[in-house]
Amino acid sequence: MPFTPKAIPAHERLIFAMDVADPAEARRLADTLGDSVHFYKLGLELFMSGGYYELLDWMVGRGKKVFVDLKFFDVPATVAAAVRQLRNRGVALTTVHGNQGIMEAAAAAKGDVKVLAVTVLTSLDRGDLDDLGFKCDVEQLVLSRARRALEAGCDGVVSSGLEAPKLREFIDQRLLVVTPGIRPVENRPVDDQKRTVDVAQAFANGADYIVVGRPIRDAADPRAAALAIQQTIAGIFGAKAAQ
């Protein structure tokens, strides 16, 4: 499967998951990372710590792209109202996690924000899906949700790199594929991510963006870890990584 042909700057294809306790820690880490990271994912932990919008505005003010990953799931009107709150703030991506009505409401309200539908969380495996009552194959569930997301007007999906090849084979190439659960090295037993791929494999499988958290955040030198990933991406897409 060829690499995705979308005109995305190579240095923006790495999204760093800023999973830290509070905005002050997030700012310190962003300062440490400097120009090694250009795209940040701000999730639920930071949202619950307070100061989320101030941090978002601070990131945007520094020329960073921001992915608001709150996985909106509620009645459609409430999800639409939540998505509207993100418009005209410099937010690049956000996530919804629900049925057709929820996805349609989010897409109708998105304005300048691209909406991603969550397919199957990368922390879930076959046994977890059985527990949730999904008896179909993981791959088929991902394809079904991706098709419905595109029909609903969403811009893309969040999907494991393991299912990305089928998304590229059977779903419209316009679909953005954002792949979390990236592990540049062998996955650790204590890690809660179960369906993972490495950087090169994610893009070879058809990802447009990769989301990396712990391998950068917990590294002895987070900036060096991010730059190493950027250099891998630059090699894949023939671009120059940050120096």
Torsion of CA 39, 145, 4, 168, to 10 degrees: 160
Q: Work out the pLDDT band at 84, boundaries 50, 70, 90.
A: very high
Query: What confidence score (pLDDT) does residue 134 get?
Result: 54
Task: Tell me the pLDDT tens digit for each residue of 48-81.
Answer: 999 999 999 999 999 999 999 999 999 999 999 9
Mean pLDDT over residues 202-210, rounded? Answer: 94
Provide the pLDDT for residue 211.
Answer: 96
pLDDT at 138: 65
**Where does the chain show beta strands of DSSP type E?**
14-17, 39-42, 65-72, 91-96, 114-118, 156-158, 176-179, 209-212
Q: What is the pLDDT of residues 3-27, one digit of tens each?
A: 666 889 999 999 999 999 999 999 9
Exposure b/e, 52-62, CB count within 10 A at least 16 = b? beebbebbbee
Instruction: Tell me the average pLDDT across 180-195.
Output: 58
pLDDT at residue 241 tops 60: no
Catalytic residues: 71
| Contact yes or no for 226/215 (Cβ under 8 A) | no
pLDDT for 120-167, tens place per residue?
555 445 454 455 455 556 677 778 889 999 999 999 999 888 888 888
Both tokens assigned to 194? 């179960």
Domains of the chain: 11-237 (3.20.20.70)
Cβ proximity of 155 and 176 under 8 Å: yes
